[in-house]
């Protein structure tokens, strides 16, 4: 194991309260053990706002600045950190598990658009009895199927066993969505959600989200029945 201290980095994020991608990027940096300054763009920043409101096809926030490189897209950040810091074991050691980890991470990265649009991340909100339509239900069913399969095969408490991996960082914002919108889960999935939300890094992120000064009004609209 190398004793070299990693050179510090900068992670540029948008909102801690609303941005699932920013949370993923930060968790990946924490998994890697990379010392990192976090720089938050205001929610009025045009690029940040477009990302939060799903008005862009290309997610460029967060981006990581490290040793002269600028890396955006959370999967690119994940692969960079995995290669740069192999001792962090961000991917499972077993080849089959590593392939599955990449597959389910990629599925989260590319899919579940109904969930993103209908249940936006909002860590400060609590919305019980929120209406969940059929398209969102299909996304929830697929996500919980992934969780159950991984937990059964690798034994939990995380998706690939006792160690957090890239996949857990990718699905962590879903856990906050399920909490915000009071999504009913079976016992294995509820236990996984609770384990992720109890992580010190998740608690620290939530604390910062709760004191974040600015709001995005479009993401604060309450549904009327």
Same structural domain, 99 and 201: yes
Mean pLDDT of 81-87: 97
Q: Does one domain contain both 177 and 121?
A: yes
pLDDT tens-digit map of 110-160: 999 999 999 999 999 999 989 999 999 999 999 999 999 999 999 999 999
Total domains in the chain come to 2
User: Which contacts of 129-135 are long-range, i.e. CB under 8 A and separated by 24 or more positions?
Assistant: 129/182, 130/181, 130/182, 130/223, 131/223, 131/225, 132/181, 132/183
Let me know: does 114 contact 138? Beta carbons within 8 Å. yes
Task: Tell me: do 100 and 203 sit in the same domain.
Answer: yes
Tell me whether residue 222 is in a domain: no
The last residue of one of the domains, among 71, 88, 105, is 88
pLDDT value at residue 105: 98
Do 103 and 36 fall within a single domain? no
The residue segments making up the domain with residue 57 are: 9-88
Q: Report yes or no: 75 and 137 within 8 Å, Cβ to Cβ.
A: no
Domain containing 20 — which CATH number?
3.40.30.10
- Examine residue 219 and state whether it is found in any structural domain, yes or no: no
pTM equals 0.91
Residue 1 has pLDDT above 50, yes or no: no
Per-residue pLDDT tens for 35-73? 999 999 877 766 666 666 665 555 788 999 999 999 999
Helix H or strand E encompassing 110: helix 95-110
Q: How many C-beta neighbours within 10 Å does residue 201 have?
A: 17
> At CA 93, angle to CA 92 and CA 97, rounded to 5?
50
Burial status of residue 38 (CB atoms within 10 A of its CB: 0-12, 13-18, 19 or more)? middle
DSSP state of 219: G
């Amino acid at each position: 194991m190398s004793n070299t201290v990693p050179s510090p980095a900068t992670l540029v994020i948008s909102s801690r309260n609303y941005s699932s991608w920013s949370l993923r990027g930060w968790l990946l940096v924490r998994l890697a053990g990379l010392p990192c300054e976090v720089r938050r763009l205001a929610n009025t920043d045009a690029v940040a706002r477009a990302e939060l409101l799903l008005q862009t096809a290309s997610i460029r926030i967060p981006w990581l600045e490290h040793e002269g490189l600028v890396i955006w897209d959370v999967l690119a950040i994940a692969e960079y950190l995995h290669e740069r810091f192999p001792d962090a074991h961000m991917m499972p050691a077993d080849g089959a598990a590593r392939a599955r980890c990449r597959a389910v991470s990629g599925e989260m990265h590319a899919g579940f658009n109904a969930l993103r649009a209908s249940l936006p991340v909002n860590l400060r909100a609590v919305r019980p009895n929120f209406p969940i339509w059929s398209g969102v239900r299909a996304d929830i069913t697929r996500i919980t199927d992934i969780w159950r399969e991984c937990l059964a095969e690798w034994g939990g408490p995380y998706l690939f066993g006792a160690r957090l991996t890239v996949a857990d960082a990718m699905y962590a914002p879903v856990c906050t969505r399920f909490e915000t919108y009071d999504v009913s889960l079976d016992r294995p999935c509820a236990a996984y959600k609770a384990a992720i939300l109890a992580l010190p890094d998740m608690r620290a992120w939530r604390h910062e989200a709760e004191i974040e000064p600015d709001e995005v009004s479009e993401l604060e609209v309450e549904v009327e029945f």
